[in-house]
Amino acid sequence: MNSPLPFERPVYVSRPALPPLTEYVRRLESIWASNILTNMGPMHEMLELGVGERVGAGRVSLWNNGMSALLAAVSSLQLQRRKVVVTPFTFPATVHAISLLGLEPVFVDIDDDSLTIDPSLIEEALDPEVGAILGTHVYGRFCDTRAIDAIAREHDLRVVYDGAHIFGRYAPVVTDEPHRLGDITMLSFHATKLFHTVEGGALITADQETDRQLRLIRNFGIVNEHDVKGLGLNGKMSEVHAAMGLSMLDMMDAEIDQRVGVASRYVEALSGIPGLRIVAGGDGTVQYFVLRIDADQFGSSRDDLHNTLRSLNVISRKYFSPLCSDVEPYNTLPSAQNLPVARKAAEEVLALPLYGGLSLEDADRIAEIVSWHQKGGIL
């Protein structure tokens, strides 16, 4: 068995899509003409409308990144109880948004299929100090929002979703089913995402008063030139970032189509390999393309596959690993000790490169490396 040739340059797990420079410069010229750089200027307002149309439900506010948006979302709940139920299978930002506010995360294990927080385990984690649930829509796949909504109603809990991955293929991303949004849903527009503003994010809420509160928090709590009300931060998205978002919105469907092409190529080449399951990307979500490797059936571990890919210049990513519950300062919490489903998932998941600019030939080469490795190929 000949070993595959390494890629000449590293192929990263994602590569930001960029609009034609002339398009972006045209928008920059308009910023130069207006001399308005931030504080909810014209680009910001246009993008807020554009994202809102695409989301298709609730009220959308733009933020300077997903993390500050999530922090603001949790802080806007003004929880009287000091604990928040959260998934361990997420990006650190999700859990930090609880802890930075002086609240305590309570980890609840995930569902083995969706990899999102398991609603059937939430109730046993509740005590009188739990005031909210924070779930992550992993890889663009929704949590069981209907079940979570039912638990929240019964126990008088607030619900926030980290939807960093959901602004993608499905428009409207949030349907008019009210349970989909929780109280507030966050989106990330980081450069690694399908749609980006370089750095950026958004919050969606169906409630007018919550939206008003969030907008106050976004601007230091400033109501008007005479009045400041409550705590706030600087969460504003600049005009330069909003201009990038407008240019990206124009090409979002093309980016999605290209990703669907790449993902179907992977699906074709990787289906049927023993011990390999496609857990995201094959179903059209195309934010990430994620494999799950069962070491016994596959014949080697996820880490071995990751290393082989890396030696051939393919930089796959163990996303999400380590678990948030396994790192400081969270690993000493009682709720961090027994999360077998999440731990296994963190040992088995591997995200392959997926972005519009990845050629189908390169996707084929990457899939061939996976298949060659599974057959016992050694470099």
Interacting residues toward ligand PLP by CB under 6 A: 65-67, 90-91, 93-94, 136, 162, 164, 188, 190, 201
CB of 64 to ligand PLP, least distance (A): 9
CB of 192 to ligand PLP, least distance (A): 6
* Shorter beta-carbon distance to ligand PLP: residue 65 or 247: 65
Enter the tokens of residue 219: 């601007």
Enter the tokens of residue 143: 């949590």
CB of 256 to ligand PLP, least distance (A): 18
CB of 90 to ligand PLP, least distance (A): 5
Distance separating alpha carbons of residues 212 and 30, to the nearest angstrom: 29
CB of 203 to ligand PLP, least distance (A): 12
CB of 241 to ligand PLP, least distance (A): 11
Ranges of H-type helices in the chain: 21-34, 42-55, 66-76, 92-99, 119-125, 145-155, 208-218, 239-270, 295-298, 302-311, 340-348, 360-374
* Shorter beta-carbon distance to ligand PLP: residue 289 or 372: 289
* Shorter beta-carbon distance to ligand PLP: residue 161 or 266: 161
Enter the tokens of residue 246: 């407008």
Enter the tokens of residue 238: 């600049």
Residue 313 φ/ψ region, left for φ over 0, alpha for ψ in the -120 to 50 degree band, beta for the rest: left
CB of 138 to ligand PLP, least distance (A): 7
* Shorter beta-carbon distance to ligand PLP: residue 41 or 66: 66
* Shorter beta-carbon distance to ligand PLP: residue 150 or 327: 327
CB of 18 to ligand PLP, least distance (A): 18
* Shorter beta-carbon distance to ligand PLP: residue 89 or 266: 89
| Contact status, residue 270 vs residue 289, Cβ threshold 8 Å | no
Cα torsion 327, 330, 333, 336: sign: negative
Enter the tokens of residue 186: 């966050």
* Shorter beta-carbon distance to ligand PLP: residue 290 or 367: 290
* Shorter beta-carbon distance to ligand PLP: residue 286 or 370: 286
Query: Among all residues, whose Cβ is closest to ligand PLP?
Result: 66
Q: 291: closest CA among 354, 338, 361?
A: 354
Distance separating alpha carbons of residues 329 and 42, to the nearest angstrom: 42
First-residue to last-residue Cα distance in the chain: 10
| Contact status, residue 258 vs residue 354, Cβ threshold 8 Å | no
Query: In the block, which residue shows the tokens 């939430």?
Result: 122
